Structure 1
Amino acid sequence: MKVLNHHRDLELYGMGRSAAVFKLKNENRVIKIFYSPFEETAKEEKQNYEKLNGNDYYPVIYEAGKNYLVMDFIEGKTFFECLAEGIPLEPYYMEEVDRGLQYAEKAGLNPSDIHLHNLILTKKGNVHIIDVARFSQEKKCTQWNDLKWAYTRYYQHAYFPKKIPRWVMYTVSKLYRLYRYIYN
């Protein structure tokens, strides 16, 4: 998908598989607009955020429609950006993600699709989890446990680089998806 044009009060903030996200100028909110084949995903994500009920690990939803959500803007860097820029990911951040995911499980959700682009570290050192549309899947997702394994096995060692080129992370991601496809 490609955004050809948008209102001047919106700033394109990011694009994913199912939606584009725009920051509302002069507000601490974003609007996530789902591409036309993903209206059901918008509905699921809204329901999942409602179950999370404004928990500190997740953004609050203010408004929702057939193909959009208006929610908190979480200012910070994704874990992916942290790795690309050499900002160290402390063990405490992993524990915080675990706590946020445990909260989701207690709310009756099944955390899925947890990856480096969906985890945000704020300037104050708080961790937030975004993009919870797939938290209502029934299939068991091991992605977060696999990331934690790699973090413990490699990243925490003194000799492992704390700044990782984007192309390396994208390559590892593609290989991981291929591996999961073949062995699942």
Structure 2
Amino acid sequence: MSWKQIVPLMEQVRITTVGDNELVQVVYVPEKITCVGLGTDAAVFVHSEYPLYAYKVYAPGREKKLENEEKAYRMLGENPYFPHFYGKGPNFIVLSYERGTNLYDCLIEGIYIPKAAVKQVDAAIQYARERGLNPRDIHLKNIILQDNGIRLIDVSEYVREGNDRRWEHLKEGYRLFYRFIAHKKIPRPVIEFVKKRYAKQQGPGFSVKSFGASLFRKLFRGKEKNLSL
């Protein structure tokens, strides 16, 4: 079944923005269509009878994001690291629906994140660079852990210049601190607290080791003796 058969339904989906850094809100969704993901620019929907496809619908005013993401996916081409790009509609792109658990939810659910996943993200980044892109904005929610590896999603930032170092910081944090929390369920408020502290402190001279050690002592008071870096 072609993804084009339900384009008329997808054109009826309505979403709206709330603020620059707030998740979009879904205003209207036709029957048999389910929202499976929300972002600050778009929302992702699937149709119950077309489970292979994910429709990423962009909010009004986010047309440039759609344009950038389409360009990035076309440049990536067929590969084992990113969703397959099928096509586009007036305000959406159509991708392969990638099942799995993003790394943010892995932390919440206590799902182990293996070293192999980190190496595969590195391989995906290298592949994207070889295709002429600049991988950036790579964070926990943009990495999906699957049975046979990982998938990276949300690539609209890949056409921009500059290095936000988010992946480098995540990878260093994994190397230094993940062993202390592996297999443990981390409460969402704790993750959000770390995110907000990181957003305020990261910049020139930022040290993952110092940042992480400070947070560990704050969040796990009394267990400092276990912190050996």
Q: TM-score, normalised by structure 1?
A: 0.92
Task: Give, in whole Å, the separation in 1 of the partners of 2:32 and 2:162.
Answer: 39
Greater Rg, structure 1 or structure 2?
Answer: 2
Q: Please tell me the root mean square deviation across aligned C-alpha atoms, in Å.
A: 1.8
Number of residue pairs the alignment of both structures matches: 182
Task: Give, in whole Å, the separation in 1 of the partners of 2:165 and 2:173.
Answer: 12
State yes or no: 1:167 paired with 2:189. Answer: yes
Task: Give, in whole Å, the separation in 1 of the partners of 2:198 and 2:54.
Answer: 30
State yes or no: 1:54 paired with 2:54. Answer: no
Q: Partner of 1:15 in structure 2?
A: 38
Q: Which runs of 5+ in 1 are unaligned?
A: none
Q: Are the counterparts in 2 of residues 111 and 141 from structure 1 also a CA contact under 8 Å?
A: no
State yes or no: 1:115 paired with 2:139. Answer: yes
Task: Give, in whole Å, the separation in 2 of the partners of 1:125 and 1:154.
Answer: 25
- Cα deviation 1:78-127 (Å, max 9, x = unaligned): 011111100111111100110011100111111111000000011x2310
- Cα deviation 1:108-158 (Å, max 9, x = unaligned): 111111000000011x2310000000011101120000001110110034x
1:122-137 alignment runs, 5 A limit: 122=146, 124-137=147-160
1:181 deviation in Å?
6.4
1:179 deviation in Å?
1.6
User: Match for 2:151: what amino acid?
Assistant: H
1:135-146 alignment runs, 5 A limit: 135-146=158-169
SS at match of 2:189: helix
SS at match of 1:156: helix
Tell me which of the two structures has the higher relative contact order, counting C-alpha pairs closer than 8 angstroms and 6 or more residues apart.
1
| Identity of matched residues, % | 32
Q: Partner of 1:39 in structure 2?
A: 63
Q: Are the counterparts in 2 of residues 154 and 160 from structure 1 also a CA contact under 8 Å?
A: no
State yes or no: 1:149 paired with 2:149. Answer: no
Q: TM-score, normalised by structure 2?
A: 0.75
User: Match for 1:89: what amino acid?
Assistant: I
Q: Which runs of 5+ in 2 are unaligned?
A: 1-23, 207-229
Is the deviation greater in 64-73 or in 93-102?
64-73
